[in-house]
Amino acid sequence: MNTSLSIRRLAKHFDGVQALKSLDLEIPAGRLVTLLGPSGCGKTTLLRMIAGISDPTAGEIWLAGRRIEDVAPERRNFGMVFQTYALFPHMSVEKNVAFGLEMRGIKKAEIARRVAAALDLVGLAHLGKRLPRQLSGGQQQRVALARAVVIEPDVLLFDEPLSNLDAKLRDTLREDLRILQKKLGITSVYVTHDQSEAMALADEIVVMKDGEIVERGTPIDLYRRPTYRFTAEFLGMTNVIGGDLSGNQCRLPWGAVRQVENPGEKDAEGIAIRPEDIGIEAADGEFDGVIEHAVFMGAAIHYQVRAAGHTLRVLSTGGQNGVLEAGQQVKLTPPPAVHLLKTFRPAERVPV
Ligand SMILES: Nc1ncnc2c1ncn2[C@@H]1O[C@H](COP(=O)(O)OP(=O)(O)O)[C@@H](O)[C@H]1O
Ligand SMILES: [Mg+2]
């Protein structure tokens, strides 16, 4: 079955607040799309309208060839996982997972079979008899996931499901989630404000700001070739600097001339150089800098380096060579090509 989602000119107003402006978005069948943006940009609002638990002020939502804004949430056959686990506290894990199937009037034997399969899928086959409070946060979230997939949903919706878990567990669970989603091939929309989560999970990332889509793309495209400064800075760290453009070349503040990857870009605001693309050495390089600050992070060392009137962020993975110290003179080398960034300009208030 085709389970692509199509959102057309969707808007939501809360008396006076335009939480979502007129938004268009296509989510291909079987893909996982993350909605990424700062708190308050409208991610939850959008997800709730897709789920059917909030009504749009205007616009359309299509599932395959069918409009669904007027379809009640329980009839949409969507699975949902939220930040809080929202399990029934007095029911066992098995009962929690079985609940949606019982509501659908499915026969006992089939329920038992599907519940066992779903618990197996999330690695909890051995904990079916426990109560939610006898589980860790991560296990409870696995139960919530089993409950969402057991109904064989057309679409899975996630709203920051890993935010309440500690860092290590979050990393494990997001990998498990990605493997599971690929295996099941269920169309998924995943809300997060965490860029590394969005990168790790997404087929495509949709970057949002103030109720609008800034831009969308694969994690690699958005990271390496963002159109907007907002995207570049939201997806990891970047240096944004000025430079003298001439054709497809650019003279950087410290004199070096570099190729521009996207020279056709009109009204560029600045040049992006990722910290990991700048070479840093004690003796060899193109221009001088002085280390202001060094942070050892294990796999990498984060430096702030003063050079030609700028403080540059530089990330070195050459940990074998030890950590350069604050105050030390260093040589830096910019990458062979640089990327221009534009300023994202919010749309006018959209009348409904
Ligand atoms: N029920 C509501 N009543 C009034 N304003 C709301 C309501 N829900 C959300 N908002 C506002 O809509 C905007 C988007 O909120 P939300 O979708 O929760 O953002 P996000 O999930 O990206 O953090 C915010 O300005 C928020 O304050
Ligand atoms: Mg939210």
Q: Does residue 242 fall inside a structural domain?
A: yes
Pocket test for ligand 1, best of 10, 13, 17, 163 (most atoms within 8 A of CB): 17
Task: Give the residue whose CA is nearest to atom 24 of ligand 1.
Answer: 40
Pair 199, 314 in one domain: no
Pair 152, 290 in one domain: no
pLDDT of residue 139 exceeding 70: yes
Residue environment code for 102-139, b if the CB has 16+ CB neighbours within 10 A, otherwise e: eeeeeeeeebeebbeebbebbebeebbeeebeebeebb
Q: Does residue 230 fall inside a structural domain?
A: no
Write out the H or E segment, with its range, that includes residue 214.
Answer: strand 212-217
Domain that includes residue 345, residue range? 238-273+335-352
Pair 13, 154 in one domain: yes
What type of residue sits at position 75? R
User: Which CATH number is 218's domain given?
Assistant: 3.40.50.300
Find tokens 């909890």 and name the residue.
124
Write out the H or E segment, with its range, that includes residue 192.
Answer: strand 187-192
Task: Give the residue whose CA is nearest to atom 13 of ligand 1.
Answer: 19
Q: Does residue 269 fall inside a structural domain?
A: yes
Contact status, residue 46 vs residue 61, Cβ threshold 8 Å: no
Q: What is the pTM of this model?
A: 0.94
Query: Does residue 181 have its Cβ closer than 6 Å to ligand 1?
Result: no
Pair 269, 323 in one domain: no
What digits encode the pLDDT tens for the residues 288-309? 999 999 999 888 999 999 998 9
Between the CA of 168 and the centroid of ligand 1 the distance, in Å, is 29
Q: Does residue 188 fall inside a structural domain?
A: yes
- Please state the atom number of ligand 1 nearest to the C-alpha of residue 47: 17
Task: Give the residue whose CA is nearest to atom 21 of ligand 1.
Answer: 44
Question: How many Å apart are CA 145 and CA 79, to the nearest integer?
Answer: 8
- Please report which ligand is nearest the Cα atom of 37: 1
What digits encode the pLDDT tens for the residues 197-246? 999 999 999 999 999 999 999 999 999 999 999 999 999 999 999 989 99
- Please report which ligand is nearest the Cα atom of 208: 1
Question: How many Å apart are CA 240 and CA 312, to the nearest integer?
Answer: 9
Pocket test for ligand 1, best of 15, 35, 36, 44 (most atoms within 8 A of CB): 44
Q: Does residue 255 fall inside a structural domain?
A: yes
Question: How many Å apart are CA 101 and CA 112, to the nearest integer?
Answer: 10
Pair 165, 250 in one domain: no
Write out the H or E segment, with its range, that includes residue 57.
Answer: none
Neighbours of 10 (CB within 10 A): 22
